[in-house]
Structure 1
């Protein structure tokens, strides 16, 4: 460790440049990851907030929930046989206020469940983002597909779907708008045998999210960017330490000649990598949290501590791998040959 610290003090500029690059790459990674998680919540928070269990839809719908329609008999049988199960539907639509201003929403209804709020006929419960946009409790809305009015009964948190606020309505109101009493999906928590309901296809929460084209395409693109940045950081570590090791073959030869073991030289490289990565990650985490605080309220940014720690661990692992690969030349170098090459 003493050798590592002395070298870092002697070659401050080189290590500051590497640390700055790692800081910028890790900061960009944290910000993109926060945007990916924020968009994920904004796109499918309604589904992601469901408890552990299985979602079922009609097999003939071919994994498109908007085309699924579960017949009443199957629905009643499944609900009676599975405690905590409920049927629900989601359909995109819009609301009109008294000034005929249109508000896009995702209408959702259920047969009665803890995850979905209880709504009376003629009332709607909206995601709280609409309250922040100025909609107030007691305000009235209409819909061109419905014959009646909807009164805002309250607001709830974490109810977003397809980047739209969710409007929870009574099943009778949903049936009046979309001309069907059949629900699109069933949810059964902790079912002993997933896929056991005849005529229905089962999905875990993650599998169901993958059936949503906008969700899977969006998350795949952002995830690829995040992992490309992680790989690039590992390559930077490998290239940086490789070039430094080439320049110091003469020094390594002298150290080996006086009895310094190869393992000690590897530990020196690892200590330098850990110091650079720790400082860069500390600063990037601080700046990403500052970004989350200063970002506009309508920007979907969500970077929980769990994701931050996972990415930090990946950066340490990739940095360790890159530094280790660059140090293999130390093991192959012979003291006499290295001394003859000089220190470059």
Structure 2
């Protein structure tokens, strides 16, 4: 410990520069991870929060709810096969308008049977089981467009009027705010002459039905068009940043070790053990990593406060801890190269070179 702090105090600029590099890389890792999580949540939060254990879709859709189509006959067939109460689910994209001072809002209907669908987390107004006629529940960001409880909405596709009966939180699909409606209210536009449904949702045990796919919420999210590809791109970028950071740290300390081969040899000749010198290097790596982590976390937290509301960003405590632990492990693993070099230093050879 003494040797580690003494050296860092003597070569402040060198270690400050390395810390800045590590802080910059960590900041990018945290920011990109938070952005990836935010994009993932804004893309699929409504599917993640569906009040059901399983979602049934047609086989051709391969788990993508938006691509699934079920007729009334198929809906009845699925319902008669399931042992638990079920609700149909229809997703319909549209645009609604309000008063003159309210913006037109692109949105997506989640139409369900309110009597068989579970309660939703409501921030204001009625819950799904209490709505009637043409009442709907809308996502909180409708308030940003000037809407309030009991305001009227007009669907541009059907000219039908709805009443905002409640507000729900963090319910979006493909970055569009979700509007929950009664599937029997016929608010959502009808495609063709026949009403088509996207899925059947239910709670209970998994029931495999021939000709249909039965999926969990997580599986449905992973099957969203473009979801896996987007998350995969972010994961590759994060992995490369971790590798680059670990490489920079490893090379820096290895070069320092080579430059100090003479000094380490003299220390060994004076009685310092390999373990003592190794502890000094590990202490420096751990200390610089912890400092870089702390500063980068504070920087990301500050950045999150000033980001515009339109930019989805989510950085949880578990995310920060998991990323931090992984970064520490990678840097400590990289220091093994320097430790190996220390074990190979010959005190007599070092003394001979110093003469």
TM-score computed with the length of structure 2 as normaliser: 0.87
Provide the secondary structure at the position in 2 that maps to 1:220: helix
Query: What is the Cα deviation at residue 210 of structure 1?
Result: 2.0
- Distance, in Å, in 1 between the alignment partners of 2:339 and 2:210 is 59
Is 1:110 aligned to residue 112 of structure 2?
yes
Partner of 1:247: 259
Provide the secondary structure at the position in 1 that maps to 2:133: coil
- Over residues 107-162 of structure 1, what are the superposed CA-to-partner deviations in whole Å (9 max), with x where a residue is unaligned? 11222322543342312211001112211222222224436321222211011110
Query: What is the Cα deviation at residue 332 of structure 1?
Result: 2.2
Query: What is the Cα deviation at residue 318 of structure 1?
Result: 1.1
Pick from 64, 70, 77 the counterpart of residue 80 of structure 2.
77
Query: What is the Cα deviation at residue 42 of structure 1?
Result: 1.1
Partner of 1:59: 59
Is 1:30 aligned to residue 30 of structure 2?
yes
Provide the secondary structure at the position in 2 that maps to 1:107: strand
CA contact 2:63–2:215 (8 Å) conserved in 1: no
Q: CA RMSD in A?
A: 2.4
- Distance, in Å, in 2 between the alignment partners of 1:128 and 1:325 is 53
Partner of 2:96: 95
Provide the secondary structure at the position in 1 that maps to 2:118: coil
- Distance, in Å, in 2 between the alignment partners of 1:313 and 1:264 is 25
Partner of 2:136: 124
- Over residues 41-96 of structure 1, what are the superposed CA-to-partner deviations in whole Å (9 max), with x where a residue is unaligned? 111111123468333311132333233234122332355x136x543222322223
Distance 1:265 1:202, change over 3 A: farther
Distance 1:101 1:31, change over 3 A: closer
Number of aligned residue pairs: give it. 339
Query: What is the Cα deviation at residue 231 of structure 1?
Result: 1.4
Partner of 1:3: 3
Query: What is the Cα deviation at residue 101 of structure 1?
Result: 6.1
Distance 1:143 1:133, change over 3 A: closer
- Distance, in Å, in 1 between the alignment partners of 2:182 and 2:59 is 26
Instruction: For 1:159-178, list aligned pairs within 5 A.
Output: 159-174=171-186, 177-178=189-190
Provide the secondary structure at the position in 2 that maps to 1:263: helix
Instruction: For 1:125-164, list aligned pairs within 5 A.
Output: 125-146=137-158, 148-164=160-176
Partner of 1:219: 231
CA contact 1:160–1:166 (8 Å) conserved in 2: yes
TM-score computed with the length of structure 1 as normaliser: 0.89
Pick from 295, 302, 319 the counterpart of residue 307 of structure 1.
319
- Distance, in Å, in 1 between the alignment partners of 2:112 and 2:324 is 40
Partner of 1:185: 199
Query: What is the Cα deviation at residue 203 of structure 1?
Result: 2.7
